Amino acid sequence: MVAQSHPLLAILLWALGFKALSSAVRARGLAPPLTDPTRAWRWINLHVSLLHSALSGPWALLCVYNAPEMLTEIFTFQSSFSYSLVCFSTGYFIQDVADIILNGQSRASWEFLLHHLLVISTFLYIVLTHRYVAGAAIGLFVEVNNIFLHARLLLKLANAQGSLLYHYNKYINVFTYIVFRLSPQFYLTWFMMKSLGVLPHAGFINLTLNSVNIMILVYFYRLIRADFFSKPKHCLQNGNNNTKFVDD
């Protein structure tokens, strides 16, 4: 299989594939009337991210469904199905970093760049060493939540915060945030903490996990504050957050 025999080539091909998808979305003009270039770019970027999540989230769940032993054999488990998933997502994250930087969004989205770079460095280590493949697949459960998170942001860009769809999505978003983002992340953190000094490079993995832990807790606070405690007038179209990659 190409991914296992030539992982870096597979990652490059996936990155180019996501770049081609981004260009196709832009060429088709699949966006509501957005005159601001930054908001138009966000719309395209979020659609690409949504597709990645829609594919990688169920893929990660299927990996564990087919091999439940992944939950305990986080360091040693191997399968071409889960390994290919890690290559697939690594390609996406690399493409997204390039997209953010090349479109001049680095300052506005520095938090996302930091998150992506942490993930890329960890995933490249996993791909090149064939260690912790199960851990990466479990970590990608987060993409199930990202489906609803990206949908939320697209609805905000379309100024649809008052819609019934947005109303139901915000509850599903919080539920999936807890089940598919916080829970797997904290399980992996617990597993790696008890493996310090036992598994190779557990300290490096732990550093990445705990850095991401801080980020996702901050994001969770922002999400709850924005969707359940902020006034309805707070929305993207107001223009008060035009320089921010993803507002609250």
Give the pLDDT band of residue 4 (cuts 50, 70, 90).
confident
Instruction: List own/partner pairs for 67-73 with CB under 8 A and 24 or more apart.
Output: 70/134, 70/137, 70/138, 71/134, 71/138, 73/134
pLDDT of amino acid 246: 45
Q: Are 103 and 29 in contact (CB under 8 A)?
A: no
| Amino acid in position 24 | A
Query: What pLDDT does residue 27 have?
Result: 75
- The residue type of 39 is R
Q: What is the largest CA-CA distance in the chain?
A: 55
**C-alpha 226, offset from chain centre:** 20
Its pTM stands at 0.90
Residue 87: pLDDT over 80: yes
27 or 103: whose pLDDT is higher? Answer: 103
Going from the C-alpha of 216 to that of each of 65, 67, 142, the distances in angstroms are 25, 27, 10
- Of 148, 178, 159, nearest to 53 (Cα)? 148
User: pLDDT tens, 95-137?
Assistant: 999 999 999 999 888 999 999 999 999 999 999 999 999 999 9
pLDDT for residue 17: 96
Whether the predicted pLDDT of 239 surpasses 50: no
Say what the pLDDT of residue 248 is: 56
Q: Is the model's pLDDT at 1 over the cut of 50?
A: yes
Q: Where would I find the H helices in the chain?
A: 2-5, 7-28, 37-66, 80-102, 110-129, 133-139, 142-157, 164-176, 183-193, 202-224
What string of H, E and C letters represents the secondary structure of 133-161? HHHHHHHCCHHHHHHHHHHHHHHHHCCCC
- For residue 29, the model assigns a pLDDT of 60
pLDDT value, residue 28: 72
In angstroms, the Cα distances linking 119 to 44, 204, 233 are 22, 12, 35
Provide the 8-state DSSP code for 245.
Answer: S
